[in-house]
């Protein structure tokens, strides 16, 4: 578990006297008492303190070179100035964070997580690990919306949440789930998945969900081609994009339907397709603006994990061997157990055999200009909330051949652009929201240095070592670590 350095931000017109009215002296005295009383009874209002990170190397994630010996000034929630430390004036009374020998990157973005499965306690783990934005790709809508509102109100520590609401499933898959005895399935799927069996049903469901507070739609399985196209069309009519698993019979069909995001890549190797033709396909994805989230952690932390490593993830509740394990909710442990029981040598062998083709496809997509983005599929067996994104960054460098700077941009600027929020986050620029991570070592020389978190700033709020340790202590006290609070 990563720990860093929190100090909460600190946190008249003249009147004539009418006959019989109180004297001006007594009026002002009474008014003064009223003002004092009102101030005591009114809700407290946090007094913000300017923050200056000085003498730091800024890695802006804009494509520009790092800025050495810089000062970044934060006022309220936003970045107010960036420049050489000698030229940026630090306001009197500002909180100064000495960044000498340290490196500043934008807050990281997790593009594929399932928050209902990890439960509310895990939200703090993202902040503790420098992940300031999470795209939830399928959960129980009502509770994730509640958690998002609490984060926005400042009553819960957690990342910015962009939410899909429930998974969209084929009606066949929902009926298959219903066929299992209630005791045989851990997930309360009725609360997080909606079956769609016809184009008419697709329009009705999407139109109804679009009236709720959600940001996009996530497809997992589809009934047939007509229903798939109806889902994407209805989402587009409601101003929302669709991402999800590939259910179309070809990448071209994904582009033609208008699906904007692809999760986990293509389920087939495409080995029989000549490279020239594959490159044409990948370029068509890039031209259409289709974003792809590879979730390579599913392989590196899941498929390729040894049985002994999995047993540690399941049973090391004290975190003696795997320190991250002690922060895992009771529900997620039970869900991981179910996933473990579903593993089979045949499936593992098939996925292992596919992996070389998977990597080749992603390398070609990168070459073709496809928007590859970091997401770790949090809630899959062995993938820990928050810290897993650092593993995906390492995968982008070691498996896909990216320079560390490019990998960081695919965890910051590129997903922000894809989600349409790059005017607020994703880079270190004046006027952007202050979502920042201060690192003790240079991530451009070794991508694993993104784990060396010193300070996290989320929406202008500073979490230093004390603050991060407080977050982790709060997670350990959470009731959902001891009780499964997400039941059928």
In the chain the domains, ranked by start, together with CATH numbers, are 108-427 (3.20.20.140)
Widest pairwise Cα distance in the chain:
99
Pairing mode, strands 167-170 and 193-196:
parallel
CA distance 121 to 64: 37
CA distance 84 to 278: 46
Reported as half-sphere exposure (CB side, CA atoms, 13 A), residue 27 has a value of 11
pLDDT tens for 127-172 read 999 999 999 999 999 999 999 999 999 999 999 999 999 999 999 9
pLDDT for position 206: 98
Q: Does position 178 have pLDDT exceeding 80, yes or no?
A: yes
pLDDT for position 102: 98
Q: Does position 214 have pLDDT exceeding 80, yes or no?
A: yes
pLDDT for position 121: 98
Work out the number of other CB atoms within 10 angstroms of the CB of residue 281: 20
For the record, the structure tokens of 143 come out as 């509770």
Average pLDDT for residues 436-458, to the nearest whole number?
A: 98
Query: Given pLDDT bands bounded at 50, 70 and 90, which one contains residue 358?
Result: very high
For the record, the structure tokens of 330 come out as 């009771």
pLDDT for position 184: 77
CA distance 254 to 265: 12
Residue at token pair 């902040």: 127
For the record, the structure tokens of 113 come out as 């997580």
Average pLDDT for residues 72-85, to the nearest whole number?
A: 97
Ranges assigned E (strand) in 167-260: 167-170, 193-196, 217-219, 242-244
Q: Hey, which residues does 75 pair with through a beta bridge?
A: 78
CA distances from 361 to 2, 196, 247, 287, 349 (A): 32, 31, 18, 17, 19
Cβ atoms 258, 284 nearer than 8 A: no
Ranges assigned E (strand) in 316-375: 371-372
Cβ atoms 293, 266 nearer than 8 A: no
For the record, the structure tokens of 74 come out as 């934060």
CA distance 127 to 108: 9
- To the nearest 10 degrees (0 to 180), the angle between helices 345-368 and 275-288 is 70
pLDDT for position 30: 38
Ranges assigned E (strand) in 85-241: 95-98, 103-106, 108-113, 131-136, 160-163, 167-170, 193-196, 217-219
């Amino acid at each position: 578990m990563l720990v860093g350095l929190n100090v909460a931000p600190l946190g008249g017109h003249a009147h004539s006297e009418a006959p019989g009215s109180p004297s001006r002296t007594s009026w002002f005295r009474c008014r003064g008492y009223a003002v004092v009383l009102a101030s005591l009874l009114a809700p407290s209002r946090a007094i913000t303190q300017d923050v200056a990170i000085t003498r730091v190397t800024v890695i802006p994630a804009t494509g520009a070179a790092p800025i050495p010996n810089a000062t970044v000034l934060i006022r309220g929630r936003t970045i107010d100035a960036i420049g050489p430390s000698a030229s940026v004036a630090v306001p009197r009374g500002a909180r100064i964070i000495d960044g000498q020998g340290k490196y500043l990157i934008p807050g990281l973005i997790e593009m594929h997580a399932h928050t209902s499965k990890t439960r509310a306690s895990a939200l703090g783990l993202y902040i503790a690990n420098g992940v300031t934005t999470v795209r939830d790709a399928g959960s129980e809508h009502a509770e994730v919306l509640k958690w998002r509102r609490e984060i926005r109100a400042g009553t819960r520590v957690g990342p910015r949440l962009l939410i899909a609401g429930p998974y969209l499933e084929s009606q066949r898959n929902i009926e298959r789930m219903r066929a299992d005895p209630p005791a045989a399935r851990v997930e309360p799927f009725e609360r997080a998945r909606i079956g769609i069996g016809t184009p008419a049903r697709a329009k009705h469901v999407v139109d109804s969900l679009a009236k709720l507070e959600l940001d996009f739609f996530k497809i997992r399985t589809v009934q047939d081609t007509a229903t798939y196209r109806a889902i994407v069309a209805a989402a587009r009519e409601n101003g929302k994009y669709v991402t999800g698993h590939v259910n179309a019979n070809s990448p071209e069909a994904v582009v033609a339907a208008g699906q904007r995001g692809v999760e986990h890549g293509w389920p087939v190797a495409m080995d029989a397709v000549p490279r020239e033709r594959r490159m044409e396909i990948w370029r068509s994805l890039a031209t259409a603006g289709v974003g792809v989230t590879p979730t390579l952690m599913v392989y590196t932390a899941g498929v390729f994990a040894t049985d002994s490593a999995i047993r540690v993830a399941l049973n090391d509740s004290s975190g003696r061997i795997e320190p991250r394990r002690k922060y895992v909710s009771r529900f997620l442990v039970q869900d991981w157990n179910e996933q473990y029981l579903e593993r089979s040598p045949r499936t593992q062998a098939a996925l292992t055999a596919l992996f070389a083709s998977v990597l080749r496809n992603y390398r070609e997509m990168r070459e073709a200009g496809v928007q590859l983005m970091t997401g770790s599929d949090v809630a899959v067996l062995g993938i820990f909330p928050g810290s897993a994104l650092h593993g995906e960054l390492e995968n982008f460098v070691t498996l896909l051949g990216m320079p560390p700077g490019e990998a960081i941009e695919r965890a910051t600027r590129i997903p922000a652009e894809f989600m349409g929020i790059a005017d607020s986050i994703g880079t270190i620029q004046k006027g952007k929201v202050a979502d920042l991570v201060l690192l003790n070592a240079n991530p451009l020389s070794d991508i694993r240095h993104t784990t060396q978190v010193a300070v996290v700033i989320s929406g202008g709020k500073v979490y230093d070592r004390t603050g991060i340790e407080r977050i982790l202590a709060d997670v350990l006290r959470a009731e959902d670590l001891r009780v499964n609070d997400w039941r059928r």
